[in-house]
């Protein structure tokens, strides 16, 4: 244990009694401005205030390159009974490396990184770096203003919030370290400033509204992909400084692309230098492994019932939104937070106070965080990765829900991939995989996803999952799958590489195989995804009716032998194009209703089906606006000559029908353009 040295001057605390009270209460929403290392002027002197929460420590020192890593020079003092140790060190500035040396009550001392550190050096040093994340000069005022103006506070008394969310949202999920690298330096990671222009160019070209970044909070192990965080308040140094990350977000905003961040409040790793046993006791985690240990991931579970821990995480969510202008948080592993018995056998978990399996403290925490975001940043998206049928995930807080805006539709993903993985001859026995999802489609507000989880751990790429023998047929199946995905209700998310049919399973330690885009089977898929995004963003029937059952209607879902489904997408009344004056004549009214209808016909066998009849509700011309068998996408070009007129022949319960040619493994979009004259 370091021996204390005589101090020339003892500065009074930089934290007030109110600061400490709010911290202990868990209601200091911006506690990151108080704890950790704060550049400040205190009593007229410039320096750094260091503060750490370690209530069970017997002594805490701050050590760093400024004192030769000698704790004796700078002991911290406990502030009352708050558990917070603090000291102002004059003369220090940005760039100083530091850690906390913490002695537990048994006399054992260990070095810990700052839980509130906002910048870190690389492993194995892992020291925090004093920095100012408030000094960046942002240039995205126009973007932020538009986001604020478009935000509507969620309320059980108004449908405005649902309408605000029911807009085109198409998300490109990205792992920064492996999205793209310089071919001449394949082992070097691109920086935030190198990535931003390239990623913005690509997202704009492809028509994605947002990019979702896999976790970039500091983490020591590349193979965790960022999901085992040790620096919750720090953008990873792998790609540059905090200012560089701010520049990254700023640049994408100025190009019209939103940024969603994967946020990981469900668990943290056991690394000895970080949160685990921070003051010699289970401080951030539960002491009992039946509550505090994740069986699947070997990590520790936050103690959501402890005020200071809840405040640490809630403030962390606000930190990313305020310091880095993040447009949405996708909360990882929500299912593991909701259930005490998640991935546990009988006897390996402790029931809640009512004898149930729900984690009441975690549920209260999620509601608390969503409420704070709604209050302070009502335009920010709140997205749950939740794989169970827990009720009310996207129900508003005022109605007793968890308060998320969206939930990943894991059930649809699983069923759809299960269907497309079958050889076509067997698909007729699994036809219900394509239709079952509609039974629960509007129970939540969904994002339809094919994420990184589907292309790792030996699962293979989406292309190779397709139930066909040869690559061209697999590519045709994948094109049909994507068209069905973009036509199906729900916002969209696709993991990088999927858009050009990457053949290999994703690897975090190398670039995507961009060279594949020189081949028609791969470039054709990429062109299709680009065109699907364009249609999704331009056609009200596809992009503004995702959340309402009125936006979907089955035309036919019973033809199991032919493996054909057909359904209608309809624009909401508010989104339908206006024609003529206030009332308009009869033909104008007919054209108006026509323009809001798009019929989707999917055929998933390798044969051509000619003279296939599909009933539709509106007579007139139905233009073929997308055909996944187009030669432009790598198909044969067979289709319906650009359009089909209805015939007054009843089919599928409708008085009018279309006589179509269905190419193999193809999805067709038809827009009703001309009604009866």
> Strand order of the sheet with strand 77-78?
36-42, 45-53, 84-90, 77-78
Cα 387 from chain centre: 14
pLDDT for the residue 161:
62
Residue 400: the pLDDT is 96
In the residue annotation, 332 being an active-site residue is answered as: yes
Position 628 scores a pLDDT of 98
Give all strands (DSSP E) within 317-458, no chain letters.
Answer: 328-331, 381-384, 406-408, 446-450
Burial class (CB in 10 A: 0-12, 13-18, 19+), 354: exposed
Active site residue 374: no
List CB contacts of 439: < 8 A, sequence separation 6 or more.
none
Q: Which helix (H) or strand (E) holds 213?
A: strand 210-213
Is the whole-model pTM more than 0.75? yes
Predicted confidence (pLDDT) per residue in 408-463, tens digit: 999 999 999 999 999 999 999 999 999 999 999 999 999 999 999 999 999 999 99
- Residue 454 sits at φ, ψ, to 5 deg, of -90, -5
Half-sphere exposure of 155 (CA within 13 A, CB side): 7
- With beta carbons less than 8 A apart as the criterion, state whether 643 and 621 touch: yes
Extract the residue ranges of the chain whose pLDDT is less than 50.
153-158, 578-593, 677
What are the φ and ψ backbone dihedral angles of 292, each rounded to 5 degrees? Answer: -110, 5
Query: Which member of 385, 386, 433, 521 is catalytic?
Result: 385
HEC per residue, 528-597: HHHHHHHHHHHCHHHHCCCCCHHHEEEEEEEECCCCEEEEEEECCHHHCCCCCCCCCCHHHHHHHHHHCE
Q: Which two tokens stand for residue 253?
A: 């905003």
For 328-379, list the strands marked E by DSSP.
328-331
List the structure tokens of 368. Answer: 């608390």
How confident is the model at residue 580, as a pLDDT? 37
> Distance from first CA to last CA of the chain, Å, rounded?
92
- Note the pLDDT of residue 369: 98
Alpha helix (H) ranges present in 130-240?
141-150, 160-165, 176-179, 192-206
**Any idea how long the chain is?**
677
CA atoms within 13 Å, Cβ hemisphere of 583: 2
For residue 154, what pLDDT is reported? 45
Q: Which H helix or E strand runs over 53?
A: strand 45-53
| Active-site choice (114, 285, 327, 332) | 332
């Amino acid at each position: 244990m370091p021996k204390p040295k005589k101090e020339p001057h003892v500065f009074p605390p930089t934290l007030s009694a109110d600061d400490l009270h709010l911290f202990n209460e868990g209601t200091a929403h911006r506690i990151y401005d108080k704890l950790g290392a704060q550049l400040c002027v205190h009593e007229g002197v410039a320096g750094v205030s260091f503060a750490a929460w370690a209530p069970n420590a017997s002594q805490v020192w701050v050590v760093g390159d400024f004192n030769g890593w000698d704790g004796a020079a700078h002991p911290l003092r406990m502030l009352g009974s708050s558990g917070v140790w603090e000291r102002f060190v004059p003369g220090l500035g940005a760039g100083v490396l530091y850690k906390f040396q913490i002695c537990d009550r048994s006399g054992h001392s260990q070095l810990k990184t700052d839980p509130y550190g906002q910048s870190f050096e690389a492993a194995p040093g892992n020291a925090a770096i004093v920095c100012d994340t408030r000094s960046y000069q942002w240039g995205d005022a126009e973007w932020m203003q538009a986001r604020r103006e478009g935000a509507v506070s969620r309320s059980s008394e108004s449908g405005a919030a649902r309408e605000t969310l029911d807009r085109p949202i198409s998300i490109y999920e990205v792992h920064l370290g492996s999205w793209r690298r310089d071919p001449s330096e394949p082992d070097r990671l691109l920086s935030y400033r190198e990535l931003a222009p390239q990623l913005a160019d690509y997202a704009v070209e492809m028509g994605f509204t947002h990019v979702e970044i896999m976790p970039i909070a500091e983490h020591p192990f590349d193979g965790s992909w960022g999901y085992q965080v040790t620096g919750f308040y720090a953008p990873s140094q792998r790609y540059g400084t905090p200012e560089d990350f701010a520049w990254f977000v700023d640049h994408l905003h100025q190009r019209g692309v939103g940024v969603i961040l994967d946020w990981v409040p469900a668990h943290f790793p056991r690394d000895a230098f970080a949160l685990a046993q921070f003051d010699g006791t289970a401080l951030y985690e539960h002491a009992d492994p039946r509550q505090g240990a994740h069986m699947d991931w070997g990590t520790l579970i936050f103690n959501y019932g402890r005020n200071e821990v809840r405040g640490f995480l809630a403030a962390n969510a606000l930190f990313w939104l305020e310091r880095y202008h993040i447009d949405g948080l996708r909360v990882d592993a929500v299912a593991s937070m909701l259930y005490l018995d998640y991935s546990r056998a009988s006897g390996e978990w402790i029931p809640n106070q009512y004898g149930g399996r729900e984690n009441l403290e975690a549920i209260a925490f999620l509601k608390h965080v969503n409420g704070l975001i709604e209050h302070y940043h009502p335009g920010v998206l709140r997205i749950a990765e939740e794989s169970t049928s827990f009720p009310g995930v996207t129900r508003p807080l005022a109605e007793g829900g968890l308060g998320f805006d969206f939930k990943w539709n894991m059930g649809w993903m699983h069923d759809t991939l299960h269907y497309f993985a079958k050889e076509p001859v067997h698909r007729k026995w699994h036809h219900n995989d394509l239709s079952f999802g509609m039974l629960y489609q509007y129970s939540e507000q969904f994002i339809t996803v094919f994420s990184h989880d589907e292309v790792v751990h030996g699962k293979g790429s989406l292309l190779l999952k397709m139930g066909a023998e040869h690559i061209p047929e697999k590519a045709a199946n994948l094109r049909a799958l994507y068209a069905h995905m973009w036509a199906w209700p729900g916002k969209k998310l696709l993991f990088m590489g999927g858009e050009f049919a990457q053949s290999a399973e994703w690897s975090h330690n190398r670039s995507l195989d961009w060279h594949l885009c020189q081949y028609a089977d791969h470039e054709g898929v990429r062109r299709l995804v680009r065109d699907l995004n364009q249609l999704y963003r331009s056609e009200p029937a596809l992009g503004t009716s995702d959340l309402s059952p009125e936006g979907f209607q089955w035309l036919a879902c019973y033809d199991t032998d032919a493996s054909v489904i057909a359904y209608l997408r309809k624009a909401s009344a508010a989104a339908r194009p206006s024609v003529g004056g206030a009332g308009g004549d009869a033909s104008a009214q007919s054209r108006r209703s026509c323009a809001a209808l798009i019929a989707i016909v999917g055929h998933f066998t390798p044969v051509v089906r000619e003279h296939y009849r599909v009933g539709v509700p509106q007579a007139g011309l139905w233009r073929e606006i997308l055909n996944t068998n187009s030669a432009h996408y790598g198909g044969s070009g067979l289709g319906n000559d650009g359009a089909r007129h209805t015939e007054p022949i009843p089919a599928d319960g409708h008085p009018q029908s279309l006589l179509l040619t269905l190419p193999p493994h193809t999805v067709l979009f038809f827009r009703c353009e001309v009604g009866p004259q």
